[in-house]
Amino acid sequence: MQKFDSSTMDFEERVEIDDFESEVMERIYSKPLLIKRVNTTSQIAIVGANVCPVESLDYEVPENELVNEDWRSRRTVQIFQYILLKWAFALIIGLSTGLVGIFNNIAVENIAGFKLLLTTELMLKHKYYKAFAAYAGCNLGLATSAAALCAFIAPAAAGSGIPEVKAYLNGVDAYSILAPSTLFVKVNVIGIVSQYLRRFLSPVIYYLFVLLIYWFTLYAYLITYKTILGQQGNLRCSCIASLIGQGGSRKYHLTWRWLRYFKNDRDRRDLITCGAAAGVAAAFRAPVGGVLFALEEAASWWRSALLWRTFFTTAVVAIVLRGFIQLCSTGTCGLFGQGGLIMYDISAAKVVYSTPDILAVILLGVIGGILGSLYNYLVDKVLRTYSIINERGAAVKILLVIMISLLTSICSYGLPWLATCIPCPADASTSCPNTDVSGNYKSFQCPPGHYNDLASLFLNTNDDAIRNLLSTNTVKEFHISSLLIFFVAVYCLGIITYGIAIPSGLFIPVILAGSCYGRLVGRLFEPISKLDVGLFSLLGAASFLGGTMRMTVSLCVILLELTNDLLMLPLVMLVLLISKTMGDMFNKGVYDQIVKLKGLPYMEAHPDPYMKHLIARDVVTGPLITFSGVEKVGNILLALKNTGHNGFPVIDEPPFSDAPELCGLVLRSQLLVLLKGKAFSKDRVLAGNKVLRKISELDFAKAGSGKGLKLEDLDIQEEEWDMYVDLHPIANTSPYTVVETMSLAKAAVLFRELGLRHMCVVPKSQGRPPIVGILTRHDFQPEHILGLYPHVRFQQ
Amino acid sequence: MQKFDSSTMDFEERVEIDDFESEVMERIYSKPLLIKRVNTTSQIAIVGANVCPVESLDYEVPENELVNEDWRSRRTVQIFQYILLKWAFALIIGLSTGLVGIFNNIAVENIAGFKLLLTTELMLKHKYYKAFAAYAGCNLGLATSAAALCAFIAPAAAGSGIPEVKAYLNGVDAYSILAPSTLFVKVNVIGIVSQYLRRFLSPVIYYLFVLLIYWFTLYAYLITYKTILGQQGNLRCSCIASLIGQGGSRKYHLTWRWLRYFKNDRDRRDLITCGAAAGVAAAFRAPVGGVLFALEEAASWWRSALLWRTFFTTAVVAIVLRGFIQLCSTGTCGLFGQGGLIMYDISAAKVVYSTPDILAVILLGVIGGILGSLYNYLVDKVLRTYSIINERGAAVKILLVIMISLLTSICSYGLPWLATCIPCPADASTSCPNTDVSGNYKSFQCPPGHYNDLASLFLNTNDDAIRNLLSTNTVKEFHISSLLIFFVAVYCLGIITYGIAIPSGLFIPVILAGSCYGRLVGRLFEPISKLDVGLFSLLGAASFLGGTMRMTVSLCVILLELTNDLLMLPLVMLVLLISKTMGDMFNKGVYDQIVKLKGLPYMEAHPDPYMKHLIARDVVTGPLITFSGVEKVGNILLALKNTGHNGFPVIDEPPFSDAPELCGLVLRSQLLVLLKGKAFSKDRVLAGNKVLRKISELDFAKAGSGKGLKLEDLDIQEEEWDMYVDLHPIANTSPYTVVETMSLAKAAVLFRELGLRHMCVVPKSQGRPPIVGILTRHDFQPEHILGLYPHVRFQQ
């Protein structure tokens, strides 16, 4: 154990530590997937070439004089304000997510509608090349602009956002995803609002427009919301910074007292959970499904109170959506039509099934699960490739987007030529061929009275395509060959589109591919099964979702709310269970894979089996830096400068205690605030109330990711280096500890269940230094453990 | 700290401890709601006069040589078997719950139908007194027999069962509820299967018959199920007992190897969670609602894997129910009709609402919430009264049931006379008046062409009454005065029926009262609101449920699945949120109240605010009994005999270690097994492998509640008292510990999140004995803390 002593520290020793540490690090992290701790305030996870700095979150409630003082000073009125504010924020999130959802949808429907109308018109005039040019041009222009925005302004906006939110709720803050670069990114990630935005077939059509709408409609929302989340922090951060700069002007911060309680990771976590639920609720118009999604997939911890608040948020979303849809149904929203807020009506189909149907459904589930896990596998491979391509700079990123966009356009426009024209059915409920934006029967190149079934799928918005596939009582509408072509195209395009520099997601592509697969299976089983192909289509979507995302209850409820048909429930449940089971045999869920790929140190709910064979002491590595209860300023500065540690144990020694004892744990961020406050003294004595007078708990309110105080912000004079500072008031006096001989598995459970950032390992026997080491989430990562003990992997 | 030393223990000292303990106890528990720890293996909670022995459950995974040895010996095949078995049990629970649900329902419908037909027939012949005699006689006979069964055979079968399951899943095993007295109790409680059984209007009609059906159809199920849960344990317990008796015959237990992994509290908890979900799923034909119910209300801890298994269970239930309902729809189930597996169709009503509707709904929610919390308050008062009455013996219990039954009969039969006869509507879809079992228009005493609206509600099964109240497009069917009378009667009868010695629940009475209330409000708001009264009725039911049970998401989904109408969702959510908020202002949810009333030491998710002002050391009371690593048999026997402790710290002392150090924690049950195994030695030395050869982990498999080894079962000879036994192999070497200065609030979070039974408090400074005390869930109870520190209650 290396310890900064009060007097003997000099330059040579510092270098030595550095060398030792980097050597240790090298020994530990000699694996392909590198996780390195290098720079001062954060750990860097390197995956392929995606550099992604991460920081753990503090969910633990610290206990020290400052917090106690603060707690005593809270009056009932403030606590009431705090609770009220929580609900107010839930309301704001709900309202704004609902508004984003609906405006977004109106924009998308109108832009996509415009593009399709233009193309259809040119087709009708037999100007096929012009039509393609218009179609591909629209796609290309919008895709490029979206990619440019994404590449230059907000690189982290690319992708689904769900893995990052999942990691955040697990306790890992990947700076980039919540970086203050653009408002766009925030809307994108925080609420998974734009979950809904992400389709791939015409994926990039509307981002520019949507951005503008975002900007205007959500300005008020963002000011409040992101302020709380502390990402932009234009209001709050500057405020707090000025406060700290003034050495704690109480007068000023009184105005903001009602907000300061939210400047901590726990409340942010709650808000983000609500946001995740609201996003899914808005995307699928499925309020209960949204809550369950947040519960089953996103959140790592859960409390009943949060369930209730999340439910409130999604209820608000549902009410907003409903209000606007009623408004739009009067035709005031342009080409809005039925809206992309997908709601599929399959209630026309009779749900009566017998044994052959069940067998068909089981087979569908098995194959769907396998195809789903294959999808995961391929997405993983593609992402790894893209991460290498994307590192070459913004221009290459955009080029990639252009190529994918062109490929999509060619497929969408070219493949329908392979289909033969089908005579319109006599009993068609809608006009056939129709020239509307949406609808079943696209004429494409066909003569009057005929339609092109493949064009009905390709040259449509995704929502309409899904609606067509799920339509009941239209068994013969799509040829088996057309379905097969569409399925293969959609499956492949979905895989290669995810991961390019546009904010595209996974839900809609998977549903699209799945429902096509289901309809295909339905057609094949037509001779023996009496179930409607529309129902098969729904079950196919369920099987794909189960096979890729591996959720059960939330998907089930989302599908239920999408289709509004409870009688399907037993079959949907069956398919989801089968496909999830099949998928789990091969690999992990797609979001877990992406979290892994991004190198985010995610804590699994269950420790790996080999952890049973190790004890906590085994994985403690590197030099432990501890401070005395009253420590020299210079030592602290050196420690902060030369290590990347975020937590330092504080040890009381004589004369402050009879024997060395663990007094607490102090965080880097707290030390920085303390040093900034300059509550120093010339002698090595307890500071008593002096610190409390200079700094209040408010000063420790956590700024947004990467927005906190930095070492460079400090202005410590030469003569202050030899002064002392009392760490007792700020140290967390009761960090959670484990005995060194506790098995790693059990320690991991403790770490995960309580959402810790640091866990102190204490010696079993007396008479030794009071702390053996500190465990962080990195120490529980398989890469770390198996780097130290490669042989242990194969033990059961 | 009082310690059993290896040599100085004698009789006087033992008495001293006893005295000291009882004195401490008296000091602590001088409160009206007493929680006493007295007898040897369990604590007794005394509430009013309901003596209810409880024991905490062990969810912690111990770590010691035995477990490690056991883990090493598990082969992959066995782990696979274990997983397969988990799913097999989930399947069995699902199948059997579904079967119970359906058979039960068929029986109920037939019996109730018979009774109603008899009464109606006599009414038609104007034999009014005879009709009443038949009606009341049927009720009385069945009620008395049910009460007799309940009073004499299974006292714990009375009541809802949900509070007990909730407590069990929180870690408290109230012996009586899972006692092996009857199979009936088990079916009743484990699965909350008979949740469904419990109505109050004609509550007791069918228990005898149902019991018979239970008995026969579920025999196979119970043998497997309860064996695993270890309550009856006729197979397993005897098996294990014989094994231990034989000193560990490996040959015999190989047969049972695949079952032994389930003999622990963790797996039992999982099974019971599945059972709770399955019960609700069967009662309301709401599989997703069942899962959410288990998640929101019942379970205290939750894991994603369990979500999935629970979901599987309810899926099986849903499929079984569906299959049988299809079968019954052909008319093979007698008077089954639409079945009591309630499914209400309100889709005929148009859900379009405007501002006045919303305002009406908000008002409905507010009043519903208040009435719901009043319901809770009254139920609490009534239960306290009944607990005093019921203690006077079985005869008084039965007398109470008879009185309530008569009162119910009088109300049901007498009140309809107050209603005026209404002419049949011209456009009635069903025959009016009808003489069917169910249906809207009961003739009662009315002349032909007229019907009695109150009789349509009173003289019906609850399911049909609810169905009538929820019916849409029948605004004028019920008079406002009739609705008022029915509401008051149902509200009051519901309150006084819960708590008598029959297995009656809360769900159906609350829904009935709520839907009547909603319809009443709907009629009153008719001039300004355009919503259908059927929808108002549903919202009324939601408001009552929210006001009493205080669940949100699960109730919402259950109502969704009951009514099969997603368009109502936003309104239902709104009402639930409002009524829950209103209710929370006044008191706790009804199940929480009952848990409290029963004196079960339930660990709340959030510690009370005053716990912030106390530290862990403050609440450690009573003498701490510790053992040496190698302890004298006599000392262990004395400690087991003279204290009620269930966990004892083991302390290593020289020569086994350099200084006294905490070696682990050993449980009473483990000590008993160890002593039974007689791995003693004459000298004070480590036993090494000797113990492992005599006892295996299997021997520690936990028997069912109250079924484990008892001190009296041991047969220790006089000369063995001075021998030594090595506790190292069985002690849990890494119990979770907290420093004595940790705040009680933080310790409570740790205790609750990890589901602990014992938590060791260790000293902060070195040089002191290595353990300060042990905290159990009793130490976190407000009664205990506020008994020690009454002043602390008022600190914020």
User: CB–CB of A39/A644 below 8 Å?
Assistant: yes
Cross-sheet strand order for the sheet of A43-47: A34-36, A43-47, A50-56, A172-174
Residues of A in contact with B573 (CB under 8 A): 287, 311, 314-315, 318
Residue B796's pLDDT band (cuts 50, 70, 90)? low
> What kind of fold does domain A11-65+605-794 have according to CATH?
CBS-domain (3.10.580)
Mean pLDDT value of segment A184-205: 33
Position B380 scores a pLDDT of: 94
Structure tokens, B68? 């490690």
Note the residue count of chain A.
Answer: 796
Q: Is A76 exposed, middle or buried (0-12, 13-18, 19+ CB in 10 A)?
A: exposed
Structure tokens, A716? 């410590």
Cα of B564 to nearest chain A Cα, Å: 6
- pLDDT score of B229 more than 50: no
**Most confident option among B453-467, B481-495, B642-656:** B481-495
pLDDT tens string B242-255: 222 222 333 333 33
pLDDT tens string A95-121: 877 776 777 667 667 777 777 788 888
Three-state SS at A174: strand
Residue A698's pLDDT band (cuts 50, 70, 90)? low
Gap between the Cα atoms of A413 and A527, Å rounded: 33
pLDDT tens string A419-433: 888 888 776 666 777
User: Given an 8 Å threshold on Cβ–Cβ distance, is A569 in contact with B288?
Assistant: yes
- pLDDT score of A607 more than 50: yes
Gap between the Cα atoms of B131 and B116, Å rounded: 10
Residue of A nearest to B295 (CA): A304
- Does the domain at residues B74-332 carry the CATH identifier 1.10.3080.10? yes
- Amino acid at position A410, single letter: I
Residues of B in contact with A68 (CB under 8 A): 612
**Shortest CB distance from A659 goes to which of B288, B561, B766?**
B766
User: Given an 8 Å threshold on Cβ–Cβ distance, is B556 in contact with A661?
Assistant: no
Cα of A376 to nearest chain B Cα, Å: 20
Structure tokens, B624? 């701490």
**Shortest CB distance from A566 goes to which of B305, B561, B659?**
B561
Residues of A in contact with B660 (CB under 8 A): 766
User: Given an 8 Å threshold on Cβ–Cβ distance, is B553 in contact with A307?
Assistant: yes
Three-state SS at B443: coil
User: Given an 8 Å threshold on Cβ–Cβ distance, is B766 in contact with A315?
Assistant: no
Position A409 scores a pLDDT of: 86
User: CB–CB of A442/A460 below 8 Å?
Assistant: yes
Identify the weakest region by mean pLDDT among A783-787, B184-188, B288-292, B509-513: B184-188
Mean pLDDT value of segment B127-141: 85
Cα of B311 to nearest chain A Cα, Å: 7
Closest of A541, A543, A472 to residue A513, by C-alpha:
A541
Handedness of CA B272, B273, B277, B280 (dihedral sign): positive
Position A372 scores a pLDDT of: 96
**Shortest CB distance from A796 goes to which of B76, B322, B577?**
B76
Mean pLDDT value of segment A187-215: 35
User: Given an 8 Å threshold on Cβ–Cβ distance, is B315 in contact with A573?
Assistant: yes
With b meaning 16 or more CB within 10 Å and e meaning fewer, what string describes B3-32?
A: bbebeebeeeebeebeeebeeebeebbeee
User: CB–CB of B87/B182 below 8 Å?
Assistant: no
- pLDDT score of A242 more than 50: no
**How many whole angstroms from its chain centre is CA A468?**
31
Q: Where are the alpha helices (DSSP H) in B420-568?
A: 453-458, 462-470, 480-497, 507-524, 533-549, 553-563
- Amino acid at position A100, single letter: V
Position B34 scores a pLDDT of: 30
Helices and strands in chain A, H and E counts: 30, 15
Relative orientation angle of helices A533-549 and A462-470, to the nearest 10 degrees: 130
Q: Where are the alpha helices (DSSP H) in A304-450?
A: 304-327, 355-390, 394-414
Position A563 scores a pLDDT of: 77
Mean pLDDT value of segment A246-264: 44
Q: How far is CA A463 from CA A98, A476, A489, B637, in A?
A: 18, 21, 17, 73
Mean pLDDT value of segment B177-187: 39
The verdict on whether omega for the bond into residue B433 sits within 30 degrees of 0, i.e. cis, is yes
Mean pLDDT value of segment A341-361: 72
User: Given an 8 Å threshold on Cβ–Cβ distance, is B796 in contact with A770?
Assistant: no
Identify the weakest region by mean pLDDT among A318-327, B126-135, B338-347, B784-793: B338-347
Position A580 scores a pLDDT of: 93
- Read off the pTM: 0.81
Residue of B nearest to A297 (CA): B304
Residues of B in contact with A612 (CB under 8 A): 68, 71
- pLDDT score of A547 more than 90: yes
Gap between the Cα atoms of A399 and B252, Å rounded: 71
Residue A154's pLDDT band (cuts 50, 70, 90)? low
With b meaning 16 or more CB within 10 Å and e meaning fewer, what string describes A640-662?
A: bebbbbbbbbbbbbeebbeebbb
Position A697 scores a pLDDT of: 65
* Structure-model confidence comparison of residues A754 and A4, the more confident one: A754
Position B46 scores a pLDDT of: 33
Position A209 scores a pLDDT of: 39
**Residue in this structure with the two tokens 């079960």, named with its chain if needed:** B600
Q: What share of chain A is helix, strand, coil (3-state, %, to 5)?
A: 60, 10, 30
3-state DSSP of B579-606: HHHHHHHHCCCHHHHHHHHCCCCCCCCC
Whether the complex's predicted ipTM is more than 0.85 is answered with no
Position B346 scores a pLDDT of: 62
Residue A537's pLDDT band (cuts 50, 70, 90)? very high
Gap between the Cα atoms of B729 and B700, Å rounded: 12
pLDDT tens string B744-768: 999 999 999 888 999 999 988 877 8
- The beta-strand segments (E) located in A594-731 are 627-628, 630-632, 647-652, 661-667, 680-681, 724-726
**Shortest CB distance from A659 goes to which of B318, B661, B765?**
B765
Mean pLDDT value of segment A571-596: 91
pLDDT tens string A722-767: 899 888 888 888 889 998 989 899 999 999 988 899 999 998 887 7
Identify the weakest region by mean pLDDT among A22-31, A166-175, A373-382: A22-31
Gap between the Cα atoms of B301 and B294, Å rounded: 10
- pLDDT score of A192 more than 80: no
- pLDDT score of A50 more than 60: no
3-state DSSP of B118-148: HHHHHHHCCCHHHHHHHHHHHHHHHHHHHHH
- pLDDT score of A693 more than 60: yes
pLDDT tens string A464-487: 788 888 887 777 778 899 999 999
Most A CBs within 10 Å: which of B569, B604, B612, as the mutation test of the A interface?
B569
Structure tokens, A227? 């302020």
* Structure-model confidence comparison of residues A489 and A605, the more confident one: A489
Residues of A in contact with B312 (CB under 8 A): 577
* Structure-model confidence comparison of residues B50 and A547, the more confident one: A547
- Amino acid at position B324, single letter: F
Gap between the Cα atoms of A769 and A661, Å rounded: 8
- pLDDT score of B724 more than 70: yes
Position B698 scores a pLDDT of: 63
Q: Is B789 exposed, middle or buried (0-12, 13-18, 19+ CB in 10 A)?
A: middle
Closest of A590, A158, A540 to residue A375, by C-alpha:
A590
Position B58 scores a pLDDT of: 81
**Residue in this structure with the two tokens 């297995």, named with its chain if needed:** B503
Gap between the Cα atoms of B526 and A515, Å rounded: 45
Residue B371: DSSP 8-state: H
Position B521 scores a pLDDT of: 94
**Shortest CB distance from B308 goes to which of A288, A552, A766?**
A552
Mean pLDDT value of segment B510-518: 93
Residue of A nearest to B609 (CA): A71
User: Given an 8 Å threshold on Cβ–Cβ distance, is A556 in contact with B288?
Assistant: yes
Residue B283: DSSP 8-state: H
- Work out the widest C-alpha separation in chain B, in whole angstroms: 98
Gap between the Cα atoms of B323 and B331, Å rounded: 14
Three-state SS at B54: strand
- pLDDT score of B203 more than 70: no
Bridge partners, B762 (sequence order): B739
Residue of A nearest to B755 (CA): A753
Cα of A785 to nearest chain B Cα, Å: 20
Gap between the Cα atoms of A45 and A37, Å rounded: 8
* Cβ neighbours around B168 below 10 Å, total: 26
Gap between the Cα atoms of B600 and B173, Å rounded: 9
Structure tokens, B133? 């005699």
Residues of B in contact with A570 (CB under 8 A): 287, 315, 318-319, 322
Domain ranges of chain A: 11-65+605-794, 75-336
**Shortest CB distance from B765 goes to which of A661, A750, A767?**
A661
Residue A298: DSSP 8-state: I
B74-332 and B355-597: identical CATH topology: yes
User: Given an 8 Å threshold on Cβ–Cβ distance, is A766 in contact with B770?
Assistant: yes
Gap between the Cα atoms of B301 and B370, Å rounded: 30
User: CB–CB of A524/A480 below 8 Å?
Assistant: yes
> What kind of fold does domain B355-597 have according to CATH?
Clc chloride channel (1.10.3080)
